[in-house]
Each structure stands twice: as C-alpha cells, then as structure tokens.
Structure 1
Amino acid sequence: MISITTSNNKKVYFASDQHLGAPTPETSFPREKKFVSWLDEIKEDAEAIFLLGDLFDFWFEYKTVVPKGFVRVLGKLAEIKDSGIPIYFFVGNHDLWMNDYFEKELNIPVYHKPQEFIINNKKFLIGHGDGLGPEDKGYKRMKKVFTFPFFKWLFRWLHPDLGVKLGQYMSVKNKMISGDEDAKFLGEENEWLVQYCKKKLTENHYDYFVFGHRHLPLEINLSAKSKYVNLGDWIQYFTYGEFDETFKLLKH
C-alpha cells in the first residue's frame, strides 16, 4: 500500500473522465486545452495527482503504435512527472486496453482495479468504478470478453487505421458520453458504486472512496467517518478533487 504525506501546503489532486477525442478530435480539442491548463495550475502545489480513467475516449496499444493526437496532454503529464510529482493512472472502460505505454514512456504506473492508498493518515480506496457493485451484468460480461488476451490479440491484427477508427466509433456510441441519461443521481439505493462502497465498509474501514465513471459530481456520507466521492467529468461539469486534510470537490 502506497502512503502519501503532503508537505509545505501541498495537496493531492484527482480527476476523471476527460474523454479526449469524443465525439471528434476537433470538438474535444478545447477540453484538452482546458484540462492542460488545469494541470499547469495544480503542478505548483501538487504532492501527487490521480487520474481515474477515461482520459481518452478510445485507447488501444499496438506493439509499436498508439492512437495519434493528445500530444499536449501527454507532453504536460511527462513534464509534471519529470519534475518529480507522482502521477497514478487508473484505466477506465474507454481506455481499458492501456498496456505499458504510460509506464515506459512517462514512468506513470497504471492500475486496472481499485487500489488502497494512505494519504495524510486517511485510508482511501481509489479506482475508475466501472463494473463494481451489483447488477450491470451485461457490462461485466462484455468487459471479460474485451480484456480476454485472445480478443486483444485478434483486434491487434486489424490495421491501426481500421482498428482505431472502429474503436472510436464504438466508444462514441456509448450513451455515457452524452452525460445525460445515465448521469442522473438515482438515489443511494440504486447507485451501484454506493452499494459497492457500503459492502466494502463491512470488510474494512475506508475514510474515502474516490471513483469516476458516473460523470456526476457526488459526495455521499456513508457513515460518520466514511465518504464516497464521484469526481464528475470534463464534458459537462469540469470538476476535480482536492485533498490535504479534508476532501473538496471543486470546479475548474
């Protein structure tokens, strides 16, 4: 378990669901610039940065090829990491085919499932959030297929011009991108991530559960000493998390 202690008025930052490339590279370009400007701001007092998935609307790593574009955000992440600020990346359902590109090129660790961290003596469980909790069985089955090594091997045989175009088309078809129908608060009893967090609390104590995926900024007290936070998105809300002694959900 990684432990982080902030010093000299520094903070830990969290962001999720930028979906760069959706619905087209041209229309997402202003979002990329806005996100890069946020990274420029927080690098001045960041102790660490957590990116909780779906940074890209589609991402697939061939052995020698990655999707073109996104040079501004990739360059900024490289600059920040090279300056000595740790960055932790969690894959989402739109960039779940991320392999080792971030680790080799940017020296940024990549996580494929929720991880525990200790930040300023507070226990966090952090992840993207897709496929957790009860129900959503169709997506869980689909994810098993998409992450199965044979399926990835088969997709890799598609020429990148065809494979990336097909992947981008399928990603944009996902209705979560629109930020409307699914991005509505359903009530605690119907929020699968809330149910997941409550179940985890019966096994271990966590001060904070921090997830993305829902495209909806949420702060829900699970108990007197435990809180669930959903970071929202950078399509409609442009929200992010900030933590030093307490967790704040803020808007850029």
Structure 2
Amino acid sequence: MPYLDVDFEDGPIWFISDLHLSPRQPALTRLFQQFCETRAKEGQAVFILGDLFDYWVHVDQSRESAYAEVFAHLQQLVAAGIRVYVMVGNRDFALSKNLLASFGLIPIPDPMALRLGTQNVLLTHGDLLCTDDRRYQIFRRVIRHPLIRLSVGNLSYSCLQKLATGLRRGSTLAVQKKSLNITDAHPLAIQTALRFGIAGQHLEQGFDVLVHGHTHRPVWEHRDGGWRMVLGAWSPDAACIGRWAAGQWSLEKITRIP
C-alpha cells in the first residue's frame, strides 16, 4: 500500500473531490478560486481526491485559459507553502504525473494511505468501491490499460475532445438507467477497505478512517469499526468539503460569494 509519510502536526488539512471544473462552468471556477484564497490558505495541505476537471484528455488543455487559471490558483497555494496533493479520478485519469509536478503539485496514487494524528487514513477516489457496477469496473480496467492509453495518446487533441464528449454523454445516460445502489459504494467494499485496504493493496493494521468522493453523496458516518467520510460534488454555488484538524474530522459547506 503506498504510504504518505508526512507529519501534518495539527493541520488543518482539507479534502476535496469531484469539482468537475471546465470552461462551460465559470461559476465553479470562481467558487474554487474563493476556496483557494480563503479556506485553503488556512491549512497545511489540500488533498484533491479525483475529478478536479470535468474531463482531461491532453496536455494542450493546460494552455487554455480556463484550465491555466485553475493551475494558477493551485500554484499560488504552493507558493504560500501549502502542499497540494492530487489524485486522479474517473474523469481526469489522463492527467500525467509530470504535468502535475510541473505546477508544483504532488501526484498521489489511488489508493493512498497516510497517518493523521493517531489514525490510519485511507484515501481513494471512490469508484473502486462501486463493485456492483460491473460494466463500469470492466470499462475502467480497459480504458486505463497501458496499451489503450498508448494508442489513445497518439490521437490528436481535437479527436480526443470529441471522444471525451461522446464518452461523457454515454456515461450520463448509463448512470440515469442504473439504480442508486449500483452507483453507490458497496457495503462489503467499504468494510473490506477499512479492515484491510483496497485494490489488492493492504495495510496490516487496517484503517481508522476512509475518505473518498465519486458517489456525490456526502456523509460522515461510523461503520464497520471505523469512520467513513464521503466528499460532495461541487455545484456553481456550493460544495461539501472535508476538514481534519487536531484529530477532529468534519464535513463543511462552502458557498460562493456573489
């Protein structure tokens, strides 16, 4: 199990996911900017647990103004001495480690373990926990296979944009047809993650806290001998984010100032 060996002292530490930032939603980017200029600067670190962007297909996106603005906000945090860790999600898994590092961001794998205070914490985007959605799990393995990534990577940016648009539309229609149980984290997967780990990567002593996003159903709950924090998806007006400070966990709501 990849383990982040960093002493965060008493924090605070912020956890966010599922921002789905894109040029089509400038209000979302304004809310993100507000977070970076306020809450984030109060902390020692920010963990982005996947789907920072609505989609990511090519390095050329980073040169477009809407995406460059997002990276600029993150670079300002780094310049202020705040560590920014980035895990990719199901929408932006093509973000490369080299690109993230070029902006001073710290790429982390999915899953990732760390210790906060006296607790072992497991971080994951969350899609690996949705084990009932078998079609998606197969698609996930195929689309992330190195040979597929290599083949797709040879396509032009414009072609990849069209491909991403088609995949997003197909995904939206597929989710609408699925029951809520299928698209949610499976109880057994949650139990296994807390007791042992996830995706075949284990920590012998298990975990006290599981933090993830993806399902868009924010909750802070005690279950299976541990705690689970589910982060919320961002809307143009508000977001539900996670906070850890001096051993205390909380879900907090931020709202966009007009």
1:229 aligned residue = 229
Alignment of 1:42-121 (within 5 A): 42-62=39-59, 65-66=60-61, 68=64, 69-121=66-118
2:216 aligned residue = 215
Distance in 1 (alpha carbons) for counterparts of 2:77 and 2:195:
38
Q: Out of 5, 13, 24, which is 2:8 matched to?
A: 5
Tell whether the 8 Å contact from 2:41 to 2:82 is kept in structure 1 after alignment.
no
Alignment of 1:181-220 (within 5 A): 186=181, 191-203=184-196, 204-220=205-221
| Aligned length in residues | 239
Tell whether the 8 Å contact from 2:87 to 2:108 is kept in structure 1 after alignment.
yes
Distance in 1 (alpha carbons) for counterparts of 2:69 and 2:131:
38
Bigger drift between 205-214 and 40-49 goes to 40-49
Distance in 2 (alpha carbons) for counterparts of 1:52 and 1:202:
21
Going from structure 1 to structure 2, the CA distance change for 1:51 and 1:193 (only over 3 Å counts) comes to: farther
Q: CA deviation at 1:30?
A: 0.3
Report the residue type matching 2:251 in the other structure.
L
Going from structure 1 to structure 2, the CA distance change for 1:6 and 1:231 (only over 3 Å counts) comes to: same
Sequence identity percentage: 21
Whose helix proportion is higher, 1 or 2? Answer: 2
Q: CA deviation at 1:104?
A: 3.0
Q: CA deviation at 1:177?
A: 11
Report the residue type matching 1:241 in the other structure.
G
Distance in 2 (alpha carbons) for counterparts of 1:92 and 1:177:
18
1:38 aligned residue = 35
1:44 is paired with a residue whose SS is helix
Q: CA deviation at 1:235?
A: 2.6
Distance in 2 (alpha carbons) for counterparts of 1:183 and 1:18:
23
Distance in 1 (alpha carbons) for counterparts of 2:120 and 2:179:
27
Tell whether the 8 Å contact from 2:121 to 2:208 is kept in structure 1 after alignment.
yes
Distance in 2 (alpha carbons) for counterparts of 1:177 and 1:134:
16
Q: CA deviation at 1:202?
A: 3.3
Distance in 2 (alpha carbons) for counterparts of 1:198 and 1:161:
42
Alignment of 1:124-135 (within 5 A): 124-132=121-129, 134-135=131-132
Q: CA deviation at 1:134?
A: 3.1
Q: Which runs of 5+ in 2 are unaligned?
A: 197-204
Distance in 1 (alpha carbons) for counterparts of 2:132 and 2:58:
30
TM-score (norm 2): 0.82
Q: CA deviation at 1:138?
A: 1.2
Q: Which runs of 4 or more aligned residues in structure 1 lie more than 6 Å from their structure 2 counterparts after TM superposition?
A: 180-183
